[in-house]
Chains A and B, each alone.
Chain A
């Protein structure tokens, strides 16, 4: 039921020509926040009375100028105070926020919801490939590192018939023994084992490109300081690949730990589990923004999490599994400094199943717009099968 036993799709893949560096393309960087982020405490509807009524212990205080209160954005919504590094990005018009967004599938299973959001097909468990892979257009001479997942495993979002590689870290990505490297390359390229042959080919092609980047020292521009956590270090490596012009088109990374059933917020809003994660999250995105500088014109970052959390706090200073959430889009072409989407309200009768934030934007409305207007892939119904009536929100400037 999970996955199919059909032959891997890259059997039918067109071979690319190795060699010349790819021309500068538009790049989409997707960040998955695993565990179901509490969007209501990240982009806070501080103008919503019910928000404060439902969360007596967890609500972030209304904007009052203190360091623990919401950073107001538009008089109704505001950022969690630990996201202060993103406020200047928002003000500069490079960060857009979509609220009450998510997957229309009602599941509250982390596993299924993540799978649906990565396959791009809510409700369908048999989709073997991912939306980010399908977002790539067929090319005769695409780079072997056009699609990169940061981490030891290739995420579902990147699986599919276009070449995609998983890179744990740039400097470990090679066979250290030279004789071994050439023998392994030869045996994997000649293997009749479809899975190992495909993965092996992709790996060795990518190693050459990555090692050419890795041997040069790298200093982030503009004094950008990436946090030491997984997200910061992943974005640092993505920035290196982008600036080295290796032909990157899509990148995927993830950051876990958002499943805050207990003690989500500490003694004040800027301490505790959620605040810690948001601090790292905000600093990582801000460092990437600073480091890329003008190059950000070519790059769009989008964030997502499998579902939101209950509107009402639970009995253990946390929140349980909910429905709609919030997404960020940052960078090139984004009409930022604005919050998109229709606000469904948080009164009991406005909530989904009387408990969760209702959904007014399908996550595919956001991703589809980026795929079409940034990556230039207009076959949205092929990228998101079964998704026939896109309602783009107008995040991208004309």
Chain B
């Protein structure tokens, strides 16, 4: 077969690469005391804020790391507690009684239509938006005049939504200002923000559409009016927490573990399930036992839906979850499993499903669709008749596999230490994982206290992701996040749409993948807009920026800027421009 012929060359080349030893000597060279503090702040937080270095020095670096590993001992920033909860995902119409919901779903059509038409248009719009089955069943049966009212309620006059995007003054200017000014303002916004603003302002949209450039007007026309994108609300809360939370490591870990167990808000019911997924399945376990985290994701309706397991039945398998559970969640793609293992695991998880999935129902195990025969998973026989315990057994096998200890250690080290972490460190992390029965806090402890973590090989070796770059810039300048959505959109345009990574792989932990010409332009524009205080949704107090580039670099980079950066900035008189150039410089793109 062709396959065999092609493989002769492949194996030879692969062997050649494997035999070429990587040079890890840079991981044996230590850092100065100040470098160590900066390294810890860059990796355990989303970037240092003014005063952070002093705070670490005050309690000592080791104590500070230990404190970050115990977020419950850190008083949370009141801003996070009061604001993060205000960004709520749409939920299936909670204002309806169960009887009313039943009527809409399964009651006589004429009665259901009559009831829906009796609701205020905004409530009816919410019902149709959040209950797709009801929309399918009834939308075509509603009186056209009522549909028009519902539509205008959903697409126009949503002042709250609008105020999340731009200020009241800007709203007024779009309504009453000259066409030229209004079009220029829209052009200055990130495109997604401009699209969303216009989606909330039908009259302005109509008036200005002919004046927009072709690219933007195509997007405006394509956008369904008035619909925020799935995951937007959670992304706003994420951005706020990343900038403001005092429990920085916990937020970094929520980001890491969500990405490890990635789901996509754009996929059907996950739009409604994603907030509780992060809150209930990921967040409580980010420093806990890996087995608990694995179980929490395996029994979450969001994951069941995302990887299709909720529909997998005995004799009518769906392999999607079984495969990704091994490849991405536990063993890693080289973890030594076969297609047969994928199928056997899928059989073990039959019956792990969701009660009323389209209405955001909970996880449920249904014995009647479970495959009750014997299975053999990775050489372990799972006897017939195990029921729900079959899946539990699989999670046990996978969580305790040496391949999992190694794979999770590598993923963590790639995120926190270096794109190509030294094998000696991975060995020690995997040993801790094994010795502590997968205690994530202990594995992190091994990593953060290792000489490799505080080495030249790790220091400034990682390029920030677009999200990390944006958040670290806000933190470095002490900026205030008033309306997160425009920045969420800008981060998406730089290549990292939050909660909308379609593939189960999540985003890469290896940071060089984030470097691109387009992304670089986005970073430079973000830096200049931020320090000039014209970044939508963000305000910055520029009065403390220094005019002297060297001085400004010390305040923003917490280190000397490179000579090339200082030379290029030259003698700019304007402190805002100096600060913007520093944040857009090569120096600030690394952490």
Whether chains A and B associate is: yes
Residues on A lying within 8 angstroms of B by beta carbon are 1-5, 34-35, 104-112, 121-124, 126, 149, 151-154, 165-177, 179-181, 183-184, 186-188, 190-193, 195-197, 199-200, 202-203, 206-207, 217-218, 228-229, 233, 256-257, 259, 261-262, 314-316, 318, 320-321, 353, 359-360, 362, 385-389
Contact of A316 among B316, B505, B516, B585 (CB under 8 A): B316
B213 within 8 A of A: yes
| Nearest CB in chain A to that of B507: its residue | A153
B572 within 8 A of A: yes
Which residues in A have their C-beta under 8 angstroms from that of B7? 104, 123
When the two chains form their complex, are residues B6 and A122 in contact, meaning their CB atoms are under 8 A apart?
yes
Q: How many Å lie between the Cα of A257 and that of B17 in the bound state?
A: 34
Nearest CB on A from B443, distance (A): 19
Q: How many Å lie between the Cα of A388 and that of B3 in the bound state?
A: 12
When the two chains form their complex, are residues A3 and B510 in contact, meaning their CB atoms are under 8 A apart?
yes
B521 within 8 A of A: yes
Which residues in A have their C-beta under 8 angstroms from that of B17? 124, 126
When the two chains form their complex, are residues A353 and B339 in contact, meaning their CB atoms are under 8 A apart?
yes
B5 within 8 A of A: yes
Which residues in B have their C-beta under 8 angstroms from that of A123? 7, 10-11, 14
When the two chains form their complex, are residues A168 and B586 in contact, meaning their CB atoms are under 8 A apart?
no
When the two chains form their complex, are residues A2 and B510 in contact, meaning their CB atoms are under 8 A apart?
yes
Nearest CB on A from B493, distance (A): 6
Which residues in B have their C-beta under 8 angstroms from that of A387? 6, 9
Q: How many Å lie between the Cα of A179 and that of B581 in the bound state?
A: 9
Binds A, one of B30-38, B168-176, B536-544, B559-567: B559-567
Binds A, one of B92-100, B158-166, B201-209, B318-326: B318-326
B512 within 8 A of A: yes
Which residues in B have their C-beta under 8 angstroms from that of A186? 564, 567-568
A122 and B10 in contact, given A180-B581, A200-B586, A315-B318 (Cβ under 8 angstroms): yes
Q: How many Å lie between the Cα of A170 and that of B568 in the bound state?
A: 26
Q: How many A-B residue pairs have CB under 8 A?
A: 238
| Nearest CB in chain B to that of A356: its residue | B339
When the two chains form their complex, are residues A257 and B419 in contact, meaning their CB atoms are under 8 A apart?
no
Q: How many Å lie between the Cα of A188 and that of B221 in the bound state?
A: 37
A179 and B577 in contact, given A123-B7, A124-B17, A359-B3 (Cβ under 8 angstroms): yes
A112 and B333 in contact, given A3-B510, A123-B14, A228-B222 (Cβ under 8 angstroms): yes
| Nearest CB in chain A to that of B492: its residue | A152
Which residues in A have their C-beta under 8 angstroms from that of B493? 152, 168, 172
Which residues in B have their C-beta under 8 angstroms from that of A149? 516
When the two chains form their complex, are residues B3 and A256 in contact, meaning their CB atoms are under 8 A apart?
no
A5 and B420 in contact, given A126-B14, A170-B215, A175-B524 (Cβ under 8 angstroms): yes
Q: How many Å lie between the Cα of A108 and that of B218 in the bound state?
A: 37
When the two chains form their complex, are residues B516 and A153 in contact, meaning their CB atoms are under 8 A apart?
yes
| Nearest CB in chain B to that of A262: its residue | B308
When the two chains form their complex, are residues B334 and A203 in contact, meaning their CB atoms are under 8 A apart?
no
Q: How many Å lie between the Cα of A353 and that of B342 in the bound state?
A: 14
B315 within 8 A of A: yes
When the two chains form their complex, are residues B419 and A5 in contact, meaning their CB atoms are under 8 A apart?
yes
Which residues in A have their C-beta under 8 angstroms from that of B342? 108
Bits for B463-493, please: 1 = Cβ < 8 Å to A, else 0.
1000000000000000000000000000001
Nearest CB on A from B183, distance (A): 14
Bits for B285-324, please: 1 = Cβ < 8 Å to A, else 0.
0000000000000000000000010011101111110010
Closest 5 CB pairs of A and B: A315-B316, A386-B9, A152-B495, A190-B564, A203-B517
B380 within 8 A of A: no
B146 within 8 A of A: no
When the two chains form their complex, are residues B319 and A321 in contact, meaning their CB atoms are under 8 A apart?
yes
When the two chains form their complex, are residues A320 and B318 in contact, meaning their CB atoms are under 8 A apart?
yes
Q: How many Å lie between the Cα of A16 and that of B102 in the bound state?
A: 69
Contact of B528 among A109, A180, A202 (CB under 8 A): A180
Q: How many Å lie between the Cα of A258 and that of B76 in the bound state?
A: 43
Which residues in A have their C-beta under 8 angstroms from that of B495? 151-153, 168
| Nearest CB in chain A to that of B5: its residue | A389
Residues facing A in B134-174 (CB within 8 A) are none
When the two chains form their complex, are residues B213 and A171 in contact, meaning their CB atoms are under 8 A apart?
yes
Residues facing A in B512-561 (CB within 8 A) are 512-522, 524-525, 527-528, 532
**What would 17 A/B residue contacts be, using CB atoms closer than 8 Å?**
A4-B420, A108-B339, A111-B505, A152-B516, A169-B191, A170-B215, A183-B581, A186-B564, A186-B567, A186-B568, A187-B567, A196-B515, A203-B520, A228-B221, A262-B318, A315-B317, A359-B2
